[in-house]
């Protein structure tokens, strides 16, 4: 595989890999580093890429695994929690309320088991099909649907619980 062919295959999915890495690692710098490491590994194994049905699914799986390894490492305690992905409206009060709601959803998502968190992210943020998610995670579509349903229910229940606190 030549350099140009490699770039045409891998560059279109760079943003998607970054979003997944940022969701898992939270820090923008850590996510950039993760994508660079994945690209380096893909370049080193560029001849094997053609063997896979979907280079995108392979790259996403590599990114997910790399990020999970980073979180398990000793350096994970150095990761900063920063959420700067929110687009604000004109009204400051609405901005603050919406930002608080988004932050609460992310906090709740962070308490979910890794598989639920990843499936919720892939489906609701990345908007991937159930079949694509099932291929990436080596699950069947029914398992993906059940896991997604459970993750959404946990997030919904926690939000309701937090919003109704102190109301009889």
pLDDT by residue (tens digit) across 35-54?
999 999 988 887 887 788 88
- Give this prediction's pTM: 0.48
Alpha carbon of 61 to those of 17, 79, 122: distances in Å?
9, 21, 12
Domain enclosing residue 59, as ranges: 3-78
Q: How confident is the model over 17-45, as a mean pLDDT? A: 89
pLDDT per residue as tens digits for the range 89-134:
346 777 777 778 888 888 888 899 999 999 998 998 888 999 999 9
* Per-residue pLDDT at 74 exceeds 60: no
Separation of alpha carbons 154 and 122, rounded Å: 17
Residue finishing a domain among 24, 50, 78 = 78
Inter-residue contact 126 to 16 (CB < 8 Å):
yes
> Which pLDDT score, from 0 to 100, does residue 147 have?
95
How many residues are given for the chain?
A: 168
> Which pLDDT score, from 0 to 100, does residue 47 have?
80
Mean pLDDT is lowest, of 19-23, 71-75, 95-99, 124-128, for: 71-75
In a domain, 168, yes or no: no
Helices 28-44 and 3-10 pack at an angle, to 10 degrees, of 140
Residue-wise burial string across 3-35, b where 16 or more C-beta atoms lie within 10 A, e elsewhere: eeebeebbeebeebbbbbbbbbbbbeebbeebb
pLDDT per residue as tens digits for the range 123-137:
988 889 999 999 989
CATH of the domain at 71: 1.10.1740.10
Say how many domains are in the chain. Answer: 2
**Same domain assignment for residues 107 and 55:** no
Residue finishing a domain among 45, 78, 111 = 78
Residue finishing a domain among 78, 106, 137 = 78
Both tokens assigned to 28? 């923008």
> Which pLDDT score, from 0 to 100, does residue 144 have?
93
**Same domain assignment for residues 62 and 110:** no
Q: Is the dihedral of CA 141, 15, 71, 28 positive or negative?
A: negative
CATH of the domain at 131: 1.10.10.10
């Amino acid at each position: 595989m030549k350099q140009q062919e490699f770039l045409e295959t891998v560059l279109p999915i760079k943003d998607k890999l970054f979003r997944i890495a940022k969701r898992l690692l939270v820090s923008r710098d850590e996510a950039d580093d993760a994508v660079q490491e994945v690209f380096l590994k893909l370049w080193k194994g560029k001849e094997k890429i053609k063997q896979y049905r979907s280079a995108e699914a392979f790259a996403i799986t590599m990114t997910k695994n790399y990020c999970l390894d980073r979180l398990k490492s000793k350096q994970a305690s150095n990761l900063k929690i920063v959420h700067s992905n929110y687009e604000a409206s004109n009204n400051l009060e609405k901005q603050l309320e919406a930002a608080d709601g988004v932050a609460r959803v992310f906090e709740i998502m962070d308490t979910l088991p890794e598989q639920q968190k990843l499936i919720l992210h892939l489906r609701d943020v990345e908007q991937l099909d159930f079949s694509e998610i099932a291929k990436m995670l080596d699950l069947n579509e029914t398992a993906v649907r059940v896991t997604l349903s459970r993750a959404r229910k946990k997030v919904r229940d926690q939000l309701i619980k937090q919003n109704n606190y102190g109301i009889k």
